[in-house]
Amino acid sequence: MHLKSWLEETQISLQSVSQNPRLDALILLVHEFGKDKSWILAHPEHELEPGIIASLQIQINKAMQGKPIPYLIGHWDFYALDFLITPDVLIPRPETEMMVDLALNWMREEEGSKKILDMGTGSGCIAVALALHSPHSSIVGIDSSEKALGVARKNAEKFHVESRIQFLKSNLFSMVHGSFDVICANLPYIPTSEMNSLPVAKFEPNVALDGGEDGLAIISTFLKEAGSFIKQPGLILSEYGIGQDDKIQKMSEIHFPNAIRKTFKDLQGISRLLAIQV
């Protein structure tokens, strides 16, 4: 079968489970075939070997059952960096890149090296991206999952920033000491009642998704405790879910009444990120 024919057939097969079936088909092909996208698109008549077709079909069958592409290929892009990904961590989302942008922009306006806390580090994508783009900063990455921390450490080593990131197992701030210039938090914010109907919950770690009854139980505790760990001036960033804008603004007003508080929308126009400048 030619590359072009395989892509066309696979695109049709993935339409029911993918928002971008052609791209997902191409990503699977790149992973199994060992050639980059440019080469594949430039050689549409290249004949695929039966063994590669068989391997691809196994992956397609898993994708058809709903398994996310990043877990099938073992890596995913975030902030133009290719991170190792396993089912022990959340798949990095493009909307979370906004958190990195805001943190870097704030640090550029403040002189000197910075100490950063990445709460709920998961794959370590935020911590690593910040380390690479803010070379004079030191970072502590926090997660309650030892398996997630293992993935984060591998990513730090992959990008040669392991000497500047300390990964620590902790339930929120329970094992954290000291204060920080920037605190980033990508914590669970899905209401428990929505977990069973959420497709990603079948494959991604529930501990990183389930935010309690209203989705904000963990974030509420985080905001309550964060004031004891942030320097002045300092910046706190917290991602949150759809429809939670009003509640999270009220929480931030209670815990940081004298701070500059602002929310930001993602590329889809959804209110997604809370920024608190103290």
pLDDT of residue 17: 86
Distance CA 211, CA 217 (A): 6
Range of the domain at 57: 3-73
Specify whether 64 is located in the same domain as 143: no
CATH of the domain at 45: 1.10.8.10
145 touches 121 (CB < 8 A): no
Per-residue pLDDT band for 227 (boundaries 50, 70, 90) equals: very high
Specify whether 105 is located in the same domain as 39: no
Q: How many residues does the chain have?
A: 278
32-41, 114-123, 252-261: segment of lowest average pLDDT: 32-41
Specify whether 169 is located in the same domain as 262: yes
pLDDT of residue 34: 85
Q: Which two tokens stand for residue 55?
A: 């391997």
Domain boundary among 24, 47, 73: 73
In the chain, pLDDT over 70 holds for what percent of residues?
A: 100
Specify whether 144 is located in the same domain as 238: yes
107 touches 181 (CB < 8 A): yes
pLDDT of residue 198: 83
Residue 225 makes CB contacts below 8 A (sequence gap 6+) with 172, 173
Distance CA 246, CA 140 (A): 30
* Count: domains in the chain: 2
64-73, 146-155, 170-179, 225-234: segment of lowest average pLDDT: 64-73
Mean pLDDT of 138-149: 97
Distance CA 74, CA 24 (A): 14
Specify whether 66 is located in the same domain as 96: no
pLDDT of residue 180: 98
